[in-house]
Amino acid sequence: MPDKPVVVVGRKLPAAVEARLKRDYRPKFNPEDRVYGTDKLLALCEGADALMPCHTEHLPAGVIARLPDSVKIIANYSVGVDHVDLAAAKGRGIAVTNTPDVLSDATAEIAMLCMLGAARRAGEGERLVRAGEWKSWSPAFMVGTQITGKRFGVIGMGRVGQVTARRARGFDMEIHYTKRNRLDPAQEAGAIYHETVEDLLPHCDILSLHCPATPQTVNLLNAERLALLPPGAILVNTARGAIVDEAALMAALRSGQLAAAGLDVYKGEPHIDPAFFEIENVFLLPHIGSATAQTRDAMGYRALDNLDAFFAGRAPRDRVA
């Protein structure tokens, strides 16, 4: 119907999500799942009412300024919004939403996978087996770090951080965290609060990052802060690559200051610094924190719920700008 809003869809979405889009809107799909360049994306937005991007579509202030006046809402298919200049969108009167809550379990699972993969040298072991180079067993073979009973630190004790902490308790780990505002006792569930990152780090045998990427958190984990971790600590990052100074991280891994790291996110992804490939004690995943069928559907439904509310004249549940 001509009165249905036109929605530009940044990437190919799950079939059920695209079916709902086709039913309720006039979508401009991306069937080839290409990463659109700026000019192509802006051309598609001509005459559109809404844009549904993923984190692969970058919308800095300069791009926001060039969006057609017809675009009234950016309904992100992501919980992170660091790819969108929120102030620029707000300045143009464009609403921005995200998809919180629905990714928490899936991302916490990947954080556990990164922790275990790094601690027990799973990447090294898998490469050894595939190469046919596993020749024998000995007491000194592939010795890693046992995580049961260790101290588990969380930077950013929001939705994902709290779920990840609950999973870590299943390994009898002692939970430490830092957050701008301390949680109430029920949410803490016995976790130990530290007012600053610097206060937290010496208490972390495993450090898991769950804060958003903002101008204040870019390179939050630099060489000076990494040095505050106990020798042999393990870093897990399933949040955003921008939070970590990758050169400092690689230096800490090479020197043995860190025993290992498990990463699902990187600066400039999918273009990863090739120096990571030469470091054995880092477990690498391709940003699959939300990659379950259930979660990817739920993300799409949440984004569509926000669109539905906006075009019905109601406040979107997940408005961030």
Q: Which residues are catalytic?
A: 240, 269, 287
**Predicted pLDDT at 1:** 45
> What distance in Å separates the CA atoms of residue 180 and residue 203, rounded to the nearest whole number?
18
Name the H helices within the chain: 15-24, 38-44, 61-66, 86-91, 104-119, 122-130, 159-169, 185-188, 197-200, 223-226, 246-255, 293-311
CA-based nearest residue to 115, from 79, 80, 151: 151
Angular region, 257: left φ>0, alpha ψ -120 to 50, beta rest = alpha
pLDDT tens digit at each of 321 positions of the chain:
458 999 999 999 999 999 999 999 999 999 999 999 999 999 999 999 999 999 999 999 999 999 999 999 999 999 999 999 999 999 999 999 999 999 999 999 999 999 999 999 999 999 999 999 999 999 999 999 999 999 999 999 999 999 999 999 999 999 999 999 999 999 999 999 999 999 999 999 999 999 999 999 999 999 999 999 999 999 999 999 999 999 999 999 999 999 999 999 999 999 999 999 999 999 999 999 999 999 999 999 999 999 999 999 999 999 999
Query: Cβ contacts of residue 37 below 8 Å, gap of 6+?
Result: none
**Predicted pLDDT at 2:** 58
Domains of the chain as residue ranges with CATH = 6-102+293-311 (3.40.50.720), 104-284 (3.40.50.720)
